[in-house]
C-alpha cells in the first residue's frame, strides 16, 4: 500500500477514542497520546499527539468530563506510517491543535 509522505495536511473530526498518555521518555516533548477521530462520512483516523499537544488534549478532557462531543482540528499535521499502519501526527511546533474552539470550521462540522 502506498501512503503519501512529506506533506502536511489538516484534519477535522469528532473524537471517538482516547488512549492513555505514553511517557516512555523523561522528555515531555516525547510523551504522546493516541486519539481516534471520525469525519462526517464515518471514516476514522488515528492521531498521535506529541508533547504539549498531548497534554493540551489530556487537560481538555480532564477539565470537561461531561462533554461527549469533542471536535478537533489538527492543522499542519504529518502522515506517519508504522508497521504499514498510517496515522496522522503533530509535526513539532508547526502543527496547531484546536479543541472545540469557537471557529467556523468546528461550528459547521457540529451541524453536520
- State in words which class domain 8-111 has: mainly beta
CA distance 33 to 20: 6
CA distance 48 to 46: 7
Instruction: Please state the rounded mean pLDDT for residues 19-41.
Output: 92
What are 58-108's pLDDT values in tens digits?
Answer: 999 999 988 889 999 999 888 877 777 777 888 877 899 999 999 999 999
Q: pTM of this prediction? A: 0.84
Which DSSP symbol is given to 22?
A: B
CA distance 18 to 76: 21
| Strand bridging mode 32-38 / 85-89 | unpaired
Amino acid at each position: 500500500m502506498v501512503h503519501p509522505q512529506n506533506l502536511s495536511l489538516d484534519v477535522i473530526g469528532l473524537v471517538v477514542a482516547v488512549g492513555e498518555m505514553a511517557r516512555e521518555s523523561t522528555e515531555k516533548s516525547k510523551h504522546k497520546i493516541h486519539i481516534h477521530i471520525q469525519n462526517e462520512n464515518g471514516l476514522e483516523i488515528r492521531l498521535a499527539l506529541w508533547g504539549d499537544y498531548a497534554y493540551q488534549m489530556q487537560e481538555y478532557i480532564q477539565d470537561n468530563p461531561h462533554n461527549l462531543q469533542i471536535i478537533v482540528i489538527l492543522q499542519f499535521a504529518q502522515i506517519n506510517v508504522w508497521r504499514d499502519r498510517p496515522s496522522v501526527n503533530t509535526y513539532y511546533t508547526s502543527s496547531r491543535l484546536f479543541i472545540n474552539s469557537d471557529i467556523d470550521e468546528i461550528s459547521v462540522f457540529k451541524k453536520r
